[in-house]
Structure formats: structure tokens, C-alpha cells
């Protein structure tokens, strides 16, 4: 981690302007790692412990919002107990980020990562009913009757799924490519719903989350959300 001049660090932390921070240093009001510092040439980084008038100085964490096209073979967590690769391994940013919700190991597609805990709550709580769109390849070709059951709600373990949408895009060789839209996000829900109607998923990818879509983002790549995309999320405009 690159060290910077103490006065710049203090300014970056919002303590004072750089010039005013120089005065504070010269006045002996700043300590670094337990020692009062009065030299303007002192350099520090985030690993140093800095106090101003007895109060700890820390940089405010910059909020960051990432859209990742998750590949199959990555777990949606920060750290995995079995040492499998995680989605965080794919994103190179200095901030500590975490995934919003989950995509299982065998599912690819759109995943948001952030360090904004408040937004994460809103994006994952069922009461907000955020639209999630998946593209799936199923074994077999579902009948109209099965599609209607899927859309009206299915009994899955101890719950009944909410209203959903199901559209066949194409079918051939006893498989079908479908687009599925749900407004909740229980564990492996889409897979369980398709199994429930007798058409297990062979391949699954999430292509939309609220107003966000993958677009032409390559698999395994990521981008920071644009200002208007972030604004919609923060304002609760998920469509």
C-alpha cells in the first residue's frame, strides 16, 4: 500500500484542509502509532493508527457498487470453507465488498457486489419483490398446463411460490430454452420450481435484476454501476 504525506491523509479523512492539517501537525495535535508527530514530511497509510486530539482518524469507506457476470464454478460468498474460488476473487477493488444475495455454484449471470449494507438489505428482503429474470435450458418441453401451474404458484418444501412468469423461447431435441421471471429469491428456487413441474434445469443464467441487465458484459468480467443505475437502486426504483 502506497504511503502518502500525513497532511494529505488527514485532508482525505475530512479532518481539515491540507494547509490546516499542516498547522495541526506543527501544533503537536496528531499522533501516529502512539507517537506525537510534528514533521510535515511524515508519510502514512491505512495500516497506521492515527489520532487527532485523542480521537481516532479513519478514512470514510467509499461506497462501491459492482455488477458482475458470474461464471459457473464460483461460490457466492466472500470466503469459502472448502477453498473453492469465490465471486470476490473476480473483482479487483481496494474496498471490502460482499455479494448481494446468492447465485449457486452451477448458476451464472448477473450478481451485484457492494459494501453498502443498507442497500443490500433492501435488495434481498422479500417485501420489496424485486424482479429477477433467468434464461434456462430445461430437460423436456413443458406443457401449457405445467406452465400455468408454474406461474400461479407451486408448493416447494414448506412454502408456496409467488406469482411468476414463464416463456418458452425455443425448443428442440427434447430440451427447451425458457425465460423465467420471479419476484422472490429463496435458496435454489428456480431450480426447485422447474424440478417440481418435471423439467429439471440443465443450464441456468440470471440476465436481469430489477432495472439492471447483463447487456454485453462478458462472463467473468465486472463493471462499476453508472450513477443513474446507483440512483435508481438507492431511491428504490427497481424497475
pLDDT digits (tens, 9 = 90+) for 36-46: 999 998 999 88
Average pLDDT, the chain: 92
Domains of the chain: 4-57 (3.10.290.10), 65-234 (3.30.2350.10)
- Of 82 and 113, the structure prediction assigns the larger pLDDT to 113
> Are 176 and 144 contacting, i.e. CB atoms less than 8 angstroms apart?
no
pLDDT score of 239:
62
| H or E element in which residue 11 lies | helix 6-12
Alpha carbon distance 112, 160 (integer Å): 26
Phi and psi angles of residue 9, each rounded to the nearest 5 degrees, phi first: -60, -45
pLDDT, residue 159, reads 92
66: cell is 459492482
Catalytic residue among 46, 53, 89, 104: 104
What is the number of other CB atoms lying within 10 angstroms of the CB of residue 17?
Answer: 11
Whether 158 is catalytic = no
Parallel/antiparallel/unpaired status of strands 222-224 and 65-70: antiparallel
Residue 61 is placed in which grid cell?
469507506
Amino acid at each position: 500500500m502506497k504511503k502518502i504525506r500525513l497532511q494529505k491523509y488527514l485532508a482525505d479523512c475530512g479532518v481539515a484542509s491540507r494547509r490546516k492539517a499542516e498547522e495541526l501537525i506543527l501544533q503537536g495535535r496528531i499522533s501516529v502509532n502512539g507517537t506525537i508527530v510534528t514533521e510535515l514530511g511524515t508519510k502514512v497509510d491505512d495500516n497506521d493508527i492515527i489520532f487527532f486530539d485523542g480521537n481516532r482518524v479513519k478514512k470514510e469507506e467509499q461506497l462501491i457498487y459492482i455488477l458482475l457476470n458470474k461464471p459457473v464454478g464460483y461460490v457466492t460468498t466472500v470466503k469459502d470453507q472448502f477453498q473453492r474460488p469465490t465471486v470476490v476473487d473476480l473483482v479487483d477493488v481496494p474496498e471490502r465488498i460482499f455479494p448481494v444475495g446468492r447465485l449457486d455454484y452451477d448458476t451464472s449471470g448477473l450478481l451485484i457486489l457492494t459494501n453498502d449494507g443498507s442497500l443490500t438489505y433492501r435488495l434481498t428482503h422479500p417485501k420489496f419483490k424485486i424482479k429477477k429474470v433467468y434464461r434456462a435450458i430445461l430437460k423436456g418441453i413443458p406443457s401449457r398446463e405445467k406452465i400455468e401451474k408454474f406461474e400461479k404458484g407451486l408448493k416447494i418444501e414448506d412454502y408456496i411460490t409467488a406469482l411468476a412468469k414463464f416463456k418458452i423461447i425455443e425448443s428442440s431435441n427434447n430440451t427447451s430454452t425458457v425465460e423465467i421471471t420471479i419476484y422472490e429469491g429463496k435458496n435454489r428456487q428456480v431450480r426447485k420450481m422447474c424440478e417440481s413441474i418435471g423439467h429439471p434445469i440443465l443450464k441456468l443464467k440470471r440476465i436481469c435484476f430489477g432495472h439492471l441487465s447483463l447487456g454485453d458484459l462478458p462472463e467473468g468480467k465486472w463493471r462499476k454501476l453508472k450513477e443513474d443505475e446507483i440512483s435508481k437502486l438507492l431511491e428504490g426504483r427497481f424497475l
